[in-house]
Amino acid sequence: PVNPQAVHGQVEGAVVMGTGETIMEEVMYDGKGNILNPNLHDYLLMTAKDAPEIFSGIVESYEPEGPYGAKEIGEGATLPVLAAVAHAIANATGVWIKELPITPEKILKALKKKNKS
Active site residues: 75
Q: Which residues pair with 29 in a beta bridge?
A: 35
Distance CA 65, CA 77 (A): 19
Residue 67 to residues 4, 7, 62, 63, 75, Cα–Cα distance (Å) = 16, 15, 10, 8, 17
